Structure formats: C-alpha cells, structure tokens
Structure 1
Amino acid sequence: MTRTTEQAKMDAGGQSSHNAGLGFATRSIHHGYDPACFSNAVQTPVFLNSTYGFESVAANEAAAALGGRLYAREYNPTTEILETRLANLEGAQAGLVVASGMAAFSALTLSLLSQGDELVVHKTLYANTLAMVEQAFPRFGIKVVAVDLADPSGMDEAITDRTRLVFFETPVNPLSRILDIGSIAERAHARGVKVAVDSTFASPALQRPLEHGADIVLHSLTKYINGHGDALGGAILGDTETLHTLHETGLRYITGAALSPMSAFLILRGLKTLTLRMERHSATALAVAQALQAHPAVAWVSYPFLDSHPDQAIARRQMSQGSGMMAFGLHAGFEGARLMMDGLGLITRAVSLGDADSLIYHPASLTRARKRLRKDAHLADGVGEDLMRLSVGLEDANDLIADLRQALDVL
C-alpha cells in the first residue's frame, strides 16, 4: 500500500492540515488517521504482523537508519496512530505506547536513570510503583527520595546534583489529593531537573500537565483512556528527543514491553468517546461524593471538586472537571469498610478503575492478604486502614447512590 505525504506527516507525529484548529473531542476521533491512506477503512486497521519485508537491502538499511521499522516491537502502524493521537491531545511533541502503565514507568525511569542517579517522588504512590522504587531501584543503585510534594518547598533540600527526575501522580492514587504541577515544575526546573506526571486519574480530557510546566506525562491507558476494561496499555508523552531515547532504549532493549496491535485498536476505539465519558464520570462522581459526605456512617470523603477538599482550588485551576475517582472512610474503620463493601449489590469489588462499571476496593484488606506472600507489603504513606477507593462508572447516579446507602445503613 502506498502511503501519502499526509499520512507520512501524521506518522511523524505532526498535526495534519485538515485537523489544524479542531477541538479536543474531534481530534480524539480523527487525529493521525486518514481513511484514504488505508483503503478507505473508517476504523483503524489492526496490523498483526511481527516483522516487515523490504524491497532491497538498501531499503532495509534505510529503515534501520531511521530508527528501526524492522520488527513489530519497534514499529507497528496501529500503535503509531495511537501514539500520534495521544501526543496531539496532550500537547506533546511525541509519544510512546507500551504494554501497561507499569511498563511506561519502567521504560521512563530505566531509560533516563543510571547507577548513582537520584529520583525524587511524592510520598504517596500507586502500590506497584511504590514497590518498584522501594525494592527494585536500590538494587540498581538508584536512590529514591520521597517528599511530601503538597509543599513544593520540600524539594529544595531533596534535589541534589545527582537528581535527574521528579515524579508524582495528580490526582494522587488512591487519596485523590491534588498536587500543584506548576509550582513543582518551577522549583525542579530551577535546578535543571525534569518533571514527569502520572495523569491517569484525570486523562487528557480533564488535565494536560505539559500546559502547567511538566516535561513528561504518563498514563495507564488501561484506565480512562481505554475506558472499557478490556485492554492493558501505557503511554509516555513529551518532547521528541526524550521520546526517541525511550523508544530506542526503554522499549527496544530494556523492557521490550510492546503494546499489542489489538490493544492499540481497542484503546483507539475507547479514545473516541473519552470526552463524553469523562463528563459523565465527573458529574456522577460529584453527586455520589456529596451523597457520601451527607451519610452519618461516613467519616470523610476526598473528591477534588468538593468544597471540603483541601486542594479544591488547585484542582479547579488544573482540571476542567473532577474525574470519577474518590476516596472515603467510615467511622467504623477497617471492619466497617469490609462489611459495607460486602453489602454492595450493584458496585463491583475490583482493583482497577476508569471502566464503564463502578468499581470499589479496600487497599488495607489487600495489603494484609499480600503480607502472607511479601512480609514487607505495606500501605502507601497517608493511606489509612479505613480508606476505600471508588471509581464511579457510567451508571445512573441515583442507582449508585442507592446501592451505597443501603450498604452503609447497616453499619
């Protein structure tokens, strides 16, 4: 199949001329793909081949010199369209998609950090990210410094001449606290250090960290961007030079964690409805959070757009809506959380998030269970034994509120 100049521009990550100036929702459906270049197929084709043939030895050498369109781990047309579209939506120069959110974090850090380097992180991290920085990085000679980035001034002492990267999530998993991207980036950049933000809880529909000064954005595509609970994926988005490094080292020979073309297709499909879904997730979550806050069995609720949230001002400055994630705790504590969760009839007990289905889980119960296998398993800093994380789905708000109320009323 002959590829047009227009498609070549898209493959290179450029803005196609007929997409220039279009809105976010429109670009989430169309950017980076021209049906005319693919036999007029309206939906993106799934390229399942594992390698690529060449017309001559010279053509093979030319492809290798351009960064390796030789093998499916290094290049796939379906995944490339996804990379181009995500980069455009985040306002990034380039993107890399990989097999999972953890693969994205691994590719980022293991490509940019070496023995003797230091990484500054927020004190509260996703459980598996926390396990990696606590257990794996010390083995590789990488020092991790945990700081409460809610007060960015704490970075002044934490950053040294060996610091190469500052990494944090916002909204923070599972607390739904909000960190000030601009303030953190300003202090890091003053010391010549790059900033990477995991924006999974918000998605680019609600928050674009590069617009606030971050250098790199990470996503677990498994969550809101896919939105249907049927594919794993991760993404790293940023400047062309950094992303070239991540592709040529992190993906090619450090992790090898290539995203499958079928998963890329499913994520592209989910991306087309991202704007609508995030509006519904956010509106329903706010209603649910308000209902939980009013229930006498509930001790506290953390949702970014609640008036009671300590970071509401930052959230409204950085995010267009509050997303579908919240945390809450009960006066009855650990045992009350277990009893309440077992009483739910509609909301599913599951550890993921960002699906059409509402999902809830209790980190403390899982951590106690994991201690049987890993004695060093522990909750992230700031996560109490009463905390439950709720991912509000796309169901009717009244039905979700009714399910929560009937489960809470027995306490």
Structure 2
Amino acid sequence: MKKERTVRPETLVAQGLGHMDSEFKGIIPGIFPSTTFERDVDGGYPSGRVYTRDQNPNYDQPEAVLTALEKGADSFLFSSGMSAAVTVFQALRPGDHVIAPKVMYWSLRNWLATYATEWGIETSFVDNGDLDALKAAVRPGQTRLLWLETPANPTWVVDDIAGWAEVARSCGARLAVDNTVATPILTRPLELGADIVMHSATKYLNGHSDVLAGALVTRQADEFWDRIRTIRAAGGAVMGPFEAWLLMRGMRTLSIRVRQASTNALKIAEALKTHAGIAEVLYPGLPEHKNHAVAASQMTGGFGGMLSIRVAGGEARAMNVAGRLTLFKRATSLGGVESLVEHRASIEGAGTPCPTDLLRLSVGIEDASDLIADLEQALEE
C-alpha cells in the first residue's frame, strides 16, 4: 500500500490546499460577488448555497486552509476579529461565567467588562501566567468558558495552554484561545487541548494591513459551534467576497512573513536588552523572560514578531522616543509587513493595565539592522 504523504504547514498554506478556479483551472480562484444563488424547480439549492450571509464561495478556501493549519474540524470567517470573539461569548447562556486574563486585547477586555454584563455574562479577570489564580476563579457549575490570549498583548506574558485546558476540562468549561500573535505557524492551541481558536485575521493572517477580518476554528463541530454559526449568519458578521479573496492572498505568504518577523524581533530584543535607554525588553524569545520555558515548549520555530520596550525615563521619554522613530510608523495594529510602534497606555486610556513607559513594537519583515539603527537613534539623548 502506498504510504500517504503529508506536507508541512509552510507548503499547505503556500499552495492554498491546491484550490483552483473550477472552470478555467486558474491557480487562483476567482471572486464571487453574487449575494444570492438560484434554486432548483423543487426549491432545492444544487450549489449548496442559499445566501452569501451564510456562505460565499470565497470563504471556502481560507476557511479550509485555516482548518488544516490549526488541525481543527471546521472554521468560520468573520467581518473582524472583534466580531469573531464577541460571537463566542454571545453563544453562551445568560448566567454563564467566564474567566479571562487581566492583560489581553484591550477592546475585547473592555467589552467583557461592560457590554457582556448586559448579556447576563459575568467575567472574572485573573493574573496572566498564574494557574493557581485561574483555578481559584472557577465557579463550579457556572464557569462555562475560559478565554486565553497568549502571548498577551502588550506585555507578552505566555500562558500554559495545556494547563488552562486541564482546568477547563475539570470544570466542564470550554477553552478558547486567541492565537492572533503566535499564528498556527508557531502555536496550535487545539493540539494542546483548546476547544476554539480565534484570530484577528486583520493581523498576521492577512499580513498586508489592507483587510479587516476575523476567524474562528473549532476542535469539534458540536452544538455550541452550531450556535456560533447561527449567530454569525443572523447578525450578518461576515466578510465581503473581495476581502475574503484578499485574505487568502495574504495567507499564502504567512509562514515566511511570520518567521522573518520572529527573526527580526529576536535580533531587536537582543540588541536592546542592555541598552542604557531601555528599562526592560518584554519578549518571550529572550532566555531571561519569565515565561521563556513555557513559550519554548508550545511555540515552534520562533517566538513571534511582537515585543515591547519599557523606556527609561517614564512616559514622557517613551513618547519622545516614539516621535523620533522614522522606519517604525506610529499606528495601531500589528502583523503587517511594515514595522509599527504604539504607546499603548495612551491608546487604551483610563483603567489600562499597561505601563505608561511601554512602547509596543510590531516588527515587520524589513532588514533587522535598519530597524535596530532606527531604534538606537531614537533612544539617543
């Protein structure tokens, strides 16, 4: 019997699972803008599609590629990372309890602390990297979802996914992991025990800062997943066909972009960790990072393209350094081919857990020596 051949994630994503235009055999499928699909005379749908709010042909390839990359059972695209994340919480029942880390994507943290309560959902926030605090926050019979973001934005604390999964199983809850920063190239949470993976696909999956998108991948297509499907369709939180096509365009280079950004980020972290103008470099790829061992155990091939620096001299000095950078552009977002810098505390505003001397760096695929030189000149007194 001929042995079945498997391919690595780099090949899988570059080939886009081999999808082609079904009519002309173009290696890139076309764009399908139709919002509706013809029925048979008996009322059936021979194409298997009813309306683009439920499923558009341009969703098929990126959803299939994501499912394969994360080694899941099914995937859904959404109009944004926030819409994908919020849909998971909306699929819960009133009275359900959620646990999430204190440091996480600020917009989602703010939504959980304010609007989620209007859905009858209560959230407990626990210290990142503290499994004991997680266990203590569990409410038997009420805790239904554990939400984890790792590495955590913008301090880049790395949590033990398998440890969180064990806690989730012990209390009958699901574990959802925001894998936006690590991407399936570096970390596959479903293999570590997670039930759902979320991506702000605007970031690394697309990688070109020109598409707003989100995605969910599930380990098991169960009743909860059906609720997510229904909420997505009913709420219309779906992408347009052109945006889905652009997302797939970007995903084809995911592996080389992520690995180059990871290489650059490590070089920058190593160059700045002893710099007199830097109080601390926050990057899990550094051996001295408090979660380096955990990161090394669940991240393969790199530690991601995100790091933060705490500037000696406080907030005013940090703002001054950001203003002096020329290659790093001052902008919100991350995961693009270009390098960005942001003073997160001023963006997040009141209540932020982010230190005021912290600058978040999204490292792109430029030459690392140029990026280091830009940072060094900005740090000059």
- TM-score with structure 1 length normalisation? 0.88
Quote the offset at 1:49 in angstroms: 0.8
Quote the offset at 1:313 in angstroms: 0.3
- 1:409 and 2:364 are equivalent in the alignment: no
Question: What CA distance in whole angstroms lies between the structure 1 residues aligned with 2:159 and 2:345?
Answer: 24
- 1:344 and 2:329 are equivalent in the alignment: no
Q: Name the structure 1 match of 2:30.
A: 45
Q: Name the structure 1 match of 2:360.
A: 389
Q: Name the structure 2 match of 1:374.
A: none
Quote the offset at 1:333 in angstroms: 0.9
Q: Name the structure 2 match of 1:128.
A: 107
Superposed, 1:356-395 pairs within 5 Å as 356-368=337-349, 377-379=350-352, 381=353, 383-395=354-366
Question: Which contiguous aligned blocks of 4+ residues in structure 1 show a shift greater than 4 angstroms?
Answer: none
Question: What CA distance in whole angstroms lies between the structure 2 residues aligned with 1:264 and 1:77?
Answer: 9
Moved more, 23-32 or 40-49: 23-32
- 1:200 and 2:180 are equivalent in the alignment: yes
Quote the offset at 1:109 in angstroms: 1.1
Paired residue secondary structure (1:248): helix
Q: Name the structure 2 match of 1:98.
A: 78
The one-letter code of the counterpart of 1:305 is G
Match of 1:162 among 136, 142, 151: 142
Q: Is the 8 A contact 2:269 2:307 kept in 1?
A: yes
Quote the offset at 1:158 in angstroms: 1.4
Question: What CA distance in whole angstroms lies between the structure 2 residues aligned with 1:252 and 1:32?
Answer: 26
Paired residue secondary structure (1:43): coil
Q: Is the 8 A contact 1:19 1:31 kept in 2?
A: no
- 1:143 and 2:122 are equivalent in the alignment: yes
- 1:259 and 2:239 are equivalent in the alignment: yes
Question: What CA distance in whole angstroms lies between the structure 1 residues aligned with 2:205 and 2:4?
Answer: 20
Q: In the comparison of the two structures, how many residue pairs are matched?
A: 377
Paired residue secondary structure (2:199): strand
Q: Is the 8 A contact 2:128 2:157 kept in 1?
A: no
Q: Name the structure 2 match of 1:354.
A: 335
Q: Name the structure 2 match of 1:30.
A: 15
Question: What CA distance in whole angstroms lies between the structure 2 residues aligned with 1:242 and 1:258?
Answer: 20
Quote the offset at 1:191 in angstroms: 1.4
- Once the two structures are superposed, what CA deviation does each residue of 1:87-132 show, in whole Å capped at 9, x if it has no partner? 1000001001101100110111101x12111111111121100111
Q: Name the structure 2 match of 1:13.
A: none
Q: Name the structure 1 match of 2:94.
A: 115
Match of 2:309 among 328, 347, 351: 328
Q: Is the 8 A contact 1:33 1:81 kept in 2?
A: no
Quote the offset at 1:332 in angstroms: 0.8
Q: Is the 8 A contact 2:88 2:228 kept in 1?
A: no
Q: Name the structure 2 match of 1:373.
A: none
Question: What CA distance in whole angstroms lies between the structure 1 residues aligned with 2:18 and 2:59?
Answer: 12
Q: Is the 8 A contact 1:95 1:243 kept in 2?
A: no
Quote the offset at 1:247 in angstroms: 4.6
Quote the offset at 1:408 in angstroms: 0.2
Question: What CA distance in whole angstroms lies between the structure 1 residues aligned with 2:4 and 2:283?
Answer: 35
- Once the two structures are superposed, what CA deviation does each residue of 1:147-182 show, in whole Å capped at 9, x if it has no partner? 124121223231121111000100101111100001
Question: What CA distance in whole angstroms lies between the structure 1 residues aligned with 2:305 and 2:348?
Answer: 24
Q: Name the structure 1 match of 2:263.
A: 283
- Once the two structures are superposed, what CA deviation does each residue of 1:11-35 show, in whole Å capped at 9, x if it has no partner? xxxxxxx996111111113354432
Quote the offset at 1:39 in angstroms: 2.1
Q: Is the 8 A contact 1:96 1:247 kept in 2?
A: no
Identical aligned pairs, as a percentage? 35
- 1:171 and 2:151 are equivalent in the alignment: yes
Q: Is the 8 A contact 2:21 2:28 kept in 1?
A: no
The one-letter code of the counterpart of 1:323 is G
Paired residue secondary structure (1:235): strand
Question: What CA distance in whole angstroms lies between the structure 1 residues aligned with 2:286 and 2:225?
Answer: 40
Change (3 A) 1:309 1:204: same
Quote the offset at 1:36 in angstroms: 6.1
- 1:57 and 2:25 are equivalent in the alignment: no
- TM-score with structure 2 length normalisation? 0.95
Quote the offset at 1:186 in angstroms: 0.8
